[in-house]
Every structure is written in structure tokens, then in C-alpha cells.
Amino acid sequence: MGATIVSPTLLSFVVILCIVCSVKQGYALGRRETVESHTIQVSSLLPSSICSSATQALNKKSSLQVVHKHGPCSQLYQDKADIPTHAQILLQDEARVKSIRSKHAKNLGRSTNVDQSDATNLPAKDGSIVGAGNYVVTVGLGTPKKDLTLIFDTGSDITWTQCEPCARSCYKQQDQIFAPSLSSTYSNISCTSTICNSLTSATGNSPGCSSTACVYGIQYGDSSFSIGIFAKEKLSLTPTDVFDDFLFGCGQNNQGLFGRAAGLLGLGRDKLSLTSQTAVKYEKFFSYCLPSSSSSTGFLSFGYSGVSKSVKYTTFSTITQSSSFYGIDIVGISVGGKKLLISASVFTAGGAVIDSGTVITRLPPTAYSALSSEFRKLMSQYPKAQPLSILDTCYDFTKYSSSVIVPKISIFFSGDVEVPIHKNGIFYVNSISQVCLAFAANGDDTDVGIFGNTQQKTLQVVYDGAGGKLGFAPGGCT
């Protein structure tokens, strides 16, 4: 008797529950529809050991192939023991950021506010040039031409390579070390020439003299350095784009975290940068695309040809443009398609620069906390993981065998330019159990912000030095 009464009650209870649950589900679905998101294959988060080379770079005129120095597409020797851990990479990244801050503040005639703990990590010389990035290109130097794989860097100016006889020291590199004595087009710059003096602004150090030869010295944020003879030589960017009398550093004493790269290609704004030295031909116009992963390839192109029709331009910033750096104005951030409420003054306090060598984008702390808290809210269904160095918003995806759903992120630049971050530019992956939001906070809102290379992946990034503007187009490479 009781059972016949209980049954309908139970039934209606179940029915009510189900209405509640369907409403809840409907609400959840409705909410999900308003959150713009990426579906990311978990397997795609891990690096592949096979290079899948893109062909588009080769179709562009005046183009070099860009690869990640530690990946399977790189010609550099792949010895696992040489590859730094992710924690080490992030530590080096922090050293680079500190040297950018210090050099930047010096350029703007400000002093940096560093505390004691920072002081030990700071570059020995205030204003020295910042450390090595992680994307490489191969160029030809000398006659006959020798191929050299160089780290390309929009945050520094002078181009240098290790040179025979390595009077003091050369680190191990993959290419044969450049031998000036075997090239018919090599010559030293004299230390009495005015060109020698221009090293001061390009390197942050005054030039020296060795017998009559001009000596350059450059230090990087992580205590890496190169010292040697300032020289000129024939530079072959591509078989058709050849520059006589290219000024470069012929390094006789080199040390640091350059991997097996032969040196560095400086694409900054100073007059000794490659950009300035080739201005007659390319009008300070270049673009690049950083590949989505270390197992694919991108490009570095000089001149206007090959620029995407969908590129949107923002003018270089008047706040942060300096002798070396390319200044930009970040004006907003969206997460899941929703613009965060961040006051404009948060971004203008320190301004921002774009850098090919900084891995993780640095934001004013006020902006970063708005970004990370919205991201955490939308990612609340996923288990969290331990922070990784400077990255504090990390997830454990071990239980997700196929895919995860991640909110889209866009950065907005002045001129109403929305730059959607590629799905491979949202996370920095240590392992599947530690996948971290690839953004970090500066120490203070007045510190200069940096748009880093993880967030630039797959974008065609266009530098129009003569036109005073920076462009972005999605889908530049895979």
C-alpha cells in the first residue's frame, strides 16, 4: 500500500529533479554558447618528434625559413642534454625581461625600480642588450658564402657570429665556425672610424681597439656575451638578396645560452641593425611568422612582397618607442569573446613593446589578474596543477584523453586592432599534468609590457619601420 503511494511521489520527485537538471543543463549550454572557445586536442599539446615542413615560406620572395631552435625542424644538433628544462627556459625569459626593462628605462631616461633580490640577477651593465630568443634562420656570410644559423631577435641590434681563431673562447655550435681569413670580402673596421663609435648605442658598451681594429662587446640579460672584431662582410640573405659591406661582430670571445646557434641576427631599430643596414632595399619592412609548434616551420621575409591582404595595422607607440625596441599600445583583452573591464590607464602606465625573443607575454599586474581570474572561472571544470615558475594558472589534463575546451583570448591594440591568439599560443606546456596559461604579470603596472613569442605563433607579424606601424594577420603559417 505504502509502495503504491511512494512510487508516484518518487516518480514526480525524479521528474522534478530532471526538470531542474535540464534547466541547469540548458543554462550551462546557453552559457557555453556565449563563451567563444577552442577545442584543443590533448595530444597536440605535446611536441612531435617529426618535422612537418610548410611550403608557403619558400614561395615568398626574400624569405628565410624560421624554426624553433630546439625542435625537430632545426638543423642544430639535437642532444637532449643540451636542451634546457621548461623551468630553465622560463628563468632565462625572466632574465631577458629584466634586461629589457632596464634598457628600456635607460632609453627613456628613467631609472628602474629594482629590489635587492632583483639586483643579483640584473645584467652587469645597466642598459646592456637583452638575451637570446629561440627562433633561428640560416643566412650566408662571406665569399665563398658560408651558411650560418642565427637566432633572430627584434629586441637587439647588432648581428654577430663566432669567428676563427676564437682568440679567447667559442662555445660549441652546429655550423662550421666562420673563418674571416678564408673569405675574400671580409675587412676589419678601423677603431678611428665613426662607424666604430656607433657601437655604443647598438650594444650599450663603448667600443675598444685591438691594434687598429674596432672591438665590440655585448652582454645579454642572462650573463651571456660576445666580444670580438667589428667587421664588414658580404651577407647573403637569400641567393638573390645579397648585401656587400654588411657590418657585423666577428666574435672572438663568446659564451652563453645560444644553444648550437652560430650567433644572433639583430632586427631592432638602431642604425646598426640588419633592418637599418638593408633599408635602401627593404625600407625597414619585414615580416615573420613563428610556427605553431617546434615541429613546424615559419618564415622571416624582407620587403613588402607576400604580406597578407587581411593584415591590420596599429601605429608604433609614442610612449615606448625607443632606439631599439618596437613600441606598441595594448588597449584591451578579451577572454571567451568577452572584453575584460580594465581601465585604459592600466596599459598606458608602462606601455608595451613587441619582442620576438621573450617567450611569455608580460602584462600589467592589474590586467593579468583580470585575465587569469576570468580564465580560471571559465576553466573551472578542469583540475588545477602546481604553478610553473612565473606561470600561476596551470591545469592537469591527464584525465582528458581526447580534447579540452578552452576560452579564446584576444589582445586589442590601438587603432581597433583585435589580435586573436592562436590556440597553441594560450598555454605553455610542461607536461600533460602541468599545462599553464602562457601569460605573466609584471612586478608593477608601470613596468613595460611585452607581447611575447608564444602569443605571436602563426600570426604574420608585419614591421613597417618607414611607415611607423606594426601589422598582424592570422594564419600566416601552420
Ligand X SMILES: *[C@@H]1O[C@H](CO)[C@@H](O)[C@H](O)[C@H]1NC(C)=O
Given the residues 175, 355, 445, 464, select the one marked as catalytic: 355
For residue 144, is the peptide bond before it cis, meaning its omega torsion is within 30 degrees of 0?
yes
Whether 355 sits among the annotated catalytic residues: the reply is yes
In angstroms, give the least distance from the CB of 164 to ligand X: 11
Pick the closer one to ligand X by CB: 72 or 208.
Answer: 208
Given the residues 93, 153, 222, 329, select the one marked as catalytic: 153
CB 161 within 8 A of CB 269: no
CA end-to-end span of the chain, whole Å? 70
**What are 420's strand-pairing partners?**
410
Pick the closer one to ligand X by CB: 208 or 467.
Answer: 208
State whether the Cα torsion 209-210-215-220 is positive or negative: negative
How far is the C-alpha of 13 from the C-alpha of 8, rounded, in Å? Answer: 8
- The residue type at 356: S
In the set 229, 247, 359, 441, which binds ligand X (CB under 6 A)?
229
- The residue type at 43: S
167-226: which residues touch ligand X (CB under 6 A)?
A: 187-188, 210-211, 213
- Residue 224 has a CB neighbour count (10 Å cut-off) of 20
How far is the C-alpha of 251 from the C-alpha of 224, rounded, in Å? Answer: 13
For residue 364, is the peptide bond before it cis, meaning its omega torsion is within 30 degrees of 0?
no
State whether the Cα torsion 387-388-392-393 is positive or negative: negative
Instruction: Give SS3 for 51.
Output: coil
Pick the closer one to ligand X by CB: 49 or 210.
Answer: 210
Q: What angle do CA 56, 58, 59 make, to 5 degrees?
A: 70
Tell me, residue by residue from 128 to 167, as one string, x for binding to ligand X by CB under 6 A and - for no binding.
----------------------------------------
410-469: which residues touch ligand X (CB under 6 A)?
A: none
The site for ligand X, by CB under 6 A, has a size of 6
How far is the C-alpha of 270 from the C-alpha of 268, rounded, in Å? Answer: 6
In angstroms, give the least distance from the CB of 161 to ligand X: 15
In angstroms, give the least distance from the CB of 187 to ligand X: 6
In angstroms, give the least distance from the CB of 228 to ligand X: 9
- Per the listing, cell 629589457 goes with 100
Convert 110-132 to b/e letters by CB count within 10 Å (16 or more is b): eebebeeeeeeebbebebbbbbb
CB 229 within 8 A of CB 213: yes
Pick the closer one to ligand X by CB: 228 or 364.
Answer: 228
Beta strands 326-328 and 352-354: pairing type? antiparallel
| Grid cell at residue 134 | 629561440
Pick the closer one to ligand X by CB: 34 or 211.
Answer: 211
347-386: which residues touch ligand X (CB under 6 A)?
A: none
In angstroms, give the least distance from the CB of 160 to ligand X: 15
102-121: which residues touch ligand X (CB under 6 A)?
A: none
In angstroms, give the least distance from the CB of 211 to ligand X: 4
**What are 208's strand-pairing partners?**
215
In angstroms, give the least distance from the CB of 172 to ligand X: 23
In angstroms, give the least distance from the CB of 229 to ligand X: 5
Pick the closer one to ligand X by CB: 231 or 409.
Answer: 231
State whether the Cα torsion 251-253-256-262 is positive or negative: positive
Half-sphere exposure at residue 408, Cβ-oriented, CA atoms within 13 angstroms: 18
Pick the closer one to ligand X by CB: 179 or 279.
Answer: 179
Whether 153 sits among the annotated catalytic residues: the reply is yes
How far is the C-alpha of 377 from the C-alpha of 42, rounded, in Å? Answer: 20
Pick the closer one to ligand X by CB: 213 or 264.
Answer: 213
Residue facing ligand X at closest CB distance:
213
Beta strands 312-315 and 469-473: pairing type? antiparallel
Residues labelled catalytic: 153, 355
- Judged by the rule CB under 6 A, the positions of this chain that interact with ligand X are 187-188, 210-211, 213, 229
